[in-house]
Amino acid sequence: MILNVSGRCDIVAFYTDWFMKRYEEGFVDVRNPFYPTFVSRIYFENVDAIMFCTKNPLPILPHLSKIHQPILFHITLTPYKKDIEPNVIDKRLIIKGIKELSKSIPKENIYVRYDPIFISDVYTIDYHIRAFERMCTLLDGYVEHIIISFLDEYKNVQKNRHILKDHPLGEDEYQRIGLSFAQSAKAHGMSVQTCAEEHHLCEYGFIRSDCISKELAFQLTHKKYKRWNARGKKCNCVEMADIGTYNCCSHLCRYCYANYDESVVIKNMKQHDDASTMLVGHLRDDDRVKVRK
């Protein structure tokens, strides 16, 4: 089993103490987001690798030596300001965290996500080209892989359209992004790929790969895993077990798929307890707990 920590919430940024307590106690409970009385219990002894997804790796850096499984990091680093990402820390600190991380785990296990890309009157194509080149320059020698994706029509995106003020991308814009990003990445010893996109940009120098491919999963664990069917036809990543909860991340990014109701975010964060076996709330009498192998 590969653990995803987490695509539903930035556990590293806000709940590292809880995660490390669960790790030390040996198991974590995960409530099914679609069937709330169904709870999966995951024992860390059954975990073959852990993928951390975060916008702020700093909180977990002091704890990495305590984790015995192979580790993969996906760190989102985008050029947006407080209008779009109101509670994301200073991007210079994220860069510093990535550099520190590269001293603890192999740099080939660190993926930077420039994700999602959208254009507006403020965040123009030229703005993105300059930002991407600067990011590659700052991370030269510390990172080998970059993943990009484009804005999707999530509920939160639709709700925040008056803030995003995004423009549709035409073929010319895709071409400019593809050529420029591929050139910048190559100049700094990095590969760049898209994530489950119709415009894969391979014709401009992007590589064709998955965020966590079966080859990478085998390299990390020496085991084979089935495809993650829950992700849809565009995604060929291997199956992972996500231990997060939707609507409990206080980054409150205006484009996020995992947060779509800020009132619920506030409520869920108040229900978090570092001593609980699950991220939000506690086990209830009517819960059906099943060990996930």
Q: What is the CATH number of the domain that holds 160?
A: 3.80.30.30
pTM exceeds 0.85 for this model: yes
- pLDDT at residue 20 greater than cutoff 80: yes
- pLDDT at residue 232 greater than cutoff 80: no
| Interval 233-267: pLDDT, tens | 677 789 999 999 999 999 999 999 998 889 999 99
Position 275, amino acid = A
Average pLDDT over residues 111-117: 97
Q: What is the mean pLDDT of the chain?
A: 95
Identify the three-state secondary structure at position 204.
Answer: helix
pLDDT of residue 230: 65
What is the pLDDT confidence band of residue 28, given thresholds at 50, 70 and 90? very high
Residue 50 near residue 263, CB atoms below 8 Å: no
pLDDT of residue 231: 61
Token representation of residue 53: 């997804």
Q: What is the DSSP pairing of strand 49-54 with strand 27-31?
A: unpaired
What is the pLDDT confidence band of residue 210, given thresholds at 50, 70 and 90? confident
CB neighbour class for 26 (10 Å; exposed up to 12, middle 13-18, buried from 19): exposed
pLDDT of residue 37: 96
* Host domain of residue 261: 2-291
pLDDT of residue 286: 95
Distance CA 228, CA 243 (A): 15
Sequence-ordered list of residues with C-beta below 8 angstroms from that of 29, at least 6 positions apart, any chain: 39, 40, 41, 42, 277, 278, 283, 289
Token representation of residue 168: 């549709």
- pLDDT at residue 165 greater than cutoff 70: yes
Query: What is the number of structural domains in the chain?
Result: 1
Q: Taking Cα atoms as reference points, which of 249, 287, 232 lies closest to residue 29?
A: 287
